[in-house]
């Protein structure tokens, strides 16, 4: 098997998870370069990495570069992505900067991996909440054609980075001790013992940027802009790891709960946990705690709509740092190897 020179750009929560997943998946790397703003040494699961400063020259000889991703105009992928491509690397970016560009594939490998054949050097990882949503939608769309989707998300604080995790932990500790809670710095208001119905800024219609990502990215990944998608709410909840989604769909062709379970059961990367009448309550439906540390997308609470024959309701849970970010990026790299789309 050929070996590939890999660069991981960024050493925050997602960057460290990328290093962990590359190791767990035994990705055929001849070497892994870790790049960030400044040089230092880090340790991930007992393995030491020497971090180099990110410069254009740092991408010489790199076959695939995984950008963990600060978003916005000063993001590393905006600064160095095209330079990395010019030096021969294929860039997989976890940020939002390239997702909606027409010439950049937006990919979840199990859903639209063939789109990688059209890449021009840069490939985008979808938003974490979109990644798990399309994993659930794809088999239903192929079988019965989706006409309408309504979705509400309940997103872990780790989606806001290490600052979000630290803020939840500090506030929870203060609450337990009966001490005053410091003013929030990551979130708009207190997150401990609370739910915040806003992720991202608001547009003129009152939708947040996170909510509209679900619309635009799902249309692009599924290749069908005719699906009517309504993002009901994207909420931040006091959970450290794992995003949850309540989803309602309507299809042209009715899909029974039995058929939906079969479709999901046959789809790679999906696990159905839907034993609400079973004795093992822990396996009755998926929770963020169960999804933590897994690359899989879990689906449960599957029900027929009580008022419309073509409607299904279900619950989707996934680890936002893995399938929602790091694991999906590594799986894209693995698909590039499978399709022989990396330089040797």
Active site residue 277: no
Active site residue 219: no
Catalytic residue from among 25, 119, 128, 141: 128
Distant-in-sequence, close-in-space partners of 327: CB < 8 Å, separation ≥ 6? 17, 21, 295, 319
Cα–Cα distance for residue pair 104/152, rounded to 1 Å:
27
Distant-in-sequence, close-in-space partners of 188: CB < 8 Å, separation ≥ 6? 196, 198
Q: Spell out the long-range contacts of 141-146 with Cβ–Cβ below 8 A and sequence spacing 24 or more.
A: 141/222, 141/224, 141/227, 141/251, 143/251, 143/253, 143/255, 143/259, 143/263, 144/251, 144/252, 144/253, 144/254, 144/255, 145/251, 145/252, 145/253, 146/222, 146/224, 146/227, 146/249, 146/250, 146/251
CB 238, CB 194: distance < 8 Å: yes
Coil, helix or strand at residue 173 = helix
User: For residue 180, what is the DSSP state?
Assistant: P
Cα–Cα distance for residue pair 48/70, rounded to 1 Å:
23
Coil, helix or strand at residue 207 = coil
CB 291, CB 299: distance < 8 Å: no
The candidate with the shortest Cα–Cα distance to 209, out of 148, 131, 127, is 127
Active site amino acids: 128, 243
């Amino acid at each position: 098997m050929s070996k590939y020179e890999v660069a991981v750009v960024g050493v925050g929560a997602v960057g460290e998870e990328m290093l962990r997943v590359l190791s767990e998946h035994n990705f055929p790397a001849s070497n892994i370069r870790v790049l960030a703003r400044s040089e230092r040494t880090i340790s991930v699961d007992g393995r030491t990495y020497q971090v180099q400063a990110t410069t254009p020259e740092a991408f010489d000889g790199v076959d695939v570069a995984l950008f963990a991703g600060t978003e916005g105009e000063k993001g590393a992928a905006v600064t160095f992505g095209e330079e990395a491509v010019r030096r021969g690397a294929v860039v997989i970016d976890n940020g939002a900067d390239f997702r909606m560009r027409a010439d950049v594939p937006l990919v979840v490998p199990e859903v639209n991996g063939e789109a990688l054949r059209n890449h021009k050097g840069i490939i985008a990882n979808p938003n974490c909440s979109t990644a798990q949503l399309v994993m659930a939608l794809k088999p239903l769309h192929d079988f019965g054609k989706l006409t309408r989707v309504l979705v509400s998300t309940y997103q872990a604080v780790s989606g806001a980075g290490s600052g979000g995790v630290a803020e939840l932990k500090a506030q929870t500790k203060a609450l337990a001790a009966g001490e005053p809670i410091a003013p929030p710095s990551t979130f708009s208001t207190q997150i401990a013992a609370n739910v915040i119905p806003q992720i991202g800024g608001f547009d003129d219609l009152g939708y947040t940027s996170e909510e509209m990502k679900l619309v635009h990215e799902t249309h692009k990944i599924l290749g069908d802009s005719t699906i009517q998608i309504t993002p009901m709410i994207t909420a931040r909840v006091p959970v450290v790891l794992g995003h949850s989604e309540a989803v309602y769909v309507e299809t042209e062709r009715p899909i029974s709960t039995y058929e939906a379970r079969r479709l999901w059961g046959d789809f790679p990367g999906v696990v159905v946990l839907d034993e609400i009448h079973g004795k093992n309550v822990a396996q009755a439906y998926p929770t963020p705690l169960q999804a933590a540390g897994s690359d899989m997308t879990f689906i449960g609470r599957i029900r027929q709509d009580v008022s419309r024959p073509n409607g299904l309701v279900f619950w989707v849970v996934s680890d936002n740092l893995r399938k929602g970010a790091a694991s999906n990026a590594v799986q894209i790299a693995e698909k590039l190897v499978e399709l022989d789309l990396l330089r040797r």
